[in-house]
A and B are shown apart, each in its own frame.
Chain A
Amino acid sequence: MSLFSARNANPLSIRNTVAIGIGSALFAILGRFGSVPSGLPDTNIETTYALLALFAILYGPLVGLLVGFIGHTLKDSIFYVSPWFSWIIASAIVGLIIGLAANRIRARDGEFGRKEIITFNVVQTAANAIAWFVVAPTLDILIYAEPSGKSYTQGLVAGASNIVTVAVLGTLLLTAYAKTRTKQGSLTKEA
């Protein structure tokens, strides 16, 4: 499988460039205003990761990577002043890995059935696990020398909550999106 989706032979096509820009703006806004209480204390449903997953599936790994990176940096900078690099890199990795499945899930052609739902959720679980269980806490320890017990516990909570969020909201969003698209080969020739 090539790193960049075959349909978009040029990973930095005009449409992808614009998708990175608009996706990053959406990521920043949903990251700041799109947190919904989950019912568990101190854990919110971060809707912004469902959006990141959708953009990664629609536009591929490079767009996923850059929406995660630019969107998270902008969110931290304009709403909380100081960018927290370890988590920014983790967001970028989530976008990149989910984007690698873009070729197998053709939501743009209206295809999002049982098979695609399973592929999507396997990939998003792997992406979130790598990013939040491994990358974010390890970078926290390397950069900020935070105690390892604290960092890994934090990563575990954030990762688990993001996996559930993307599993529920991401799947629902992609299903709803696929329904708005016309299936390929949906026309039949009249006799």
Chain B
Amino acid sequence: MKMLAYAKLDSPIHRLTGAAKLLFFALWSMGAMITFDTRFLVGFIVFGLVLLKVSRVRLREYSFLLYLIGAFFLLNHVAIYLFSPLEGVKIYGTKHVLLQLPGRYDLTAEQLFYQLNIALKYLAVIPIAFLFILTTDPGEFAASLNRVKVSYKIAYAVSIALRYIPDIQRDFQNISFSAQARGVDISAKEKLGKRLRNVIGILMPLILSSIERIETISAAMELRGFGRGKRRTWYKDRPFGPGDYGALAFIAVVLAALVWLTIARGSRFYNVFESPLF
């Protein structure tokens, strides 16, 4: 099973500091969460795709993820329509029926536009999320968190998590395969009660070995005096360069424009049916 992981490459995006990318990603996601303005969302997606191109990250190996996301996406949209086929009419205040359907399930232009915006909102985050994960060195990530004022102990905890995810994944697979080789089944073929007991049989060794690992690591850290100082330095910490300031200034301006427009309009929704310009 593949997971998204950093790969060392050289591009303008890779050269940005982790802290700048983290802030950029956070502000970007915030923008995509606030707005339902189609023009902003399309802009976000196009710009995100351009950045992906610039970064030269290889996405082909992650194409399976697109199916996963696509399936989730489709299910979500069907559910929205089934539960609330006239949500768009409620939001935009007009009703243009495109297709007569039984009951309240008339297909309206408003509903299509509303669901299109939800889809765009979700898509707007994906290119930047990909970029952030694939171009940020996990070692530098902890330093970045600390730089944006997260307590260094919590930053260090995140770094431990990233460091141990592959180990724990391997442990989990080893335990679960060796249990299965002994006939311990956790699939739907086993009766529910037995299946649950089998799950415990796999979880218990994983958790006990992890708790043991916590004791070992914390003893080692204590011996090295972790947590004595109020601050700490980081091996991979880098100072901000012009590129970092540029990227942050850019996203700040976009976010300010978006917030201004939202307040001026008094709504997060861009109403193409009433005022196509505003």
Residues of A within 8 A of B (CB): 12-15, 17-26, 28-30, 32-34, 36-39, 45, 47, 50-51, 54, 58, 66, 70-71, 74, 77-83, 85, 143-150, 153-154, 168-169, 172-173, 176-177, 180
Q: How far is the CA of A68 from the CA of B135 in the complex (A)?
A: 25
Is chain A's binding surface mostly helix, strand, loop or mixed?
helix
- A82 close to B125 (CB less than 8 A): yes
Residues of B within 8 A of A (CB): 1, 3-5, 29, 33, 36, 65, 68-69, 72, 79-80, 82-84, 87, 91, 118, 121-122, 125-126, 129-130, 133, 151, 153-154, 156-165, 167-169, 172-173, 176, 186-188, 192, 195-196, 199-200, 203-204, 206-208, 210-211, 213-215, 217-218, 221-222, 226-227, 268
Once A78-B5, A80-B68 are accepted as A-B contacts, the answer to whether A176 and B200 lie under 8 Å apart by CB is yes
- A147 close to B84 (CB less than 8 A): yes
Nearest 5 CB-CB pairings of A with B: A21-B160, A147-B84, A150-B83, A20-B157, A24-B161
- B164 close to A22 (CB less than 8 A): yes
- B79 close to A150 (CB less than 8 A): yes
Q: How far is the CA of A62 from the CA of B32 in the complex (A)?
A: 29
Question: Could you say which of A22, A30, A147, A168 contacts B213, with CB atoms under 8 Å apart?
Answer: A22
Q: How far is the CA of A18 from the CA of B218 in the complex (A)?
A: 6
Q: How far is the CA of A98 from the CA of B255 in the complex (A)?
A: 37
Question: Could you say which of A22, A28, A37 contacts B160, with CB atoms under 8 Å apart?
Answer: A22
- B199 close to A77 (CB less than 8 A): no
Question: Could you say which of A19, A26, A145 contacts B36, with CB atoms under 8 Å apart?
Answer: A145
- A81 close to B65 (CB less than 8 A): yes
Provide the residues of chain A in CB contact with B129, threshold 8 Å: 77, 81-83
- A47 close to B161 (CB less than 8 A): no
Q: Smallest CB–CB gap between B169 and chain A, Å?
A: 5
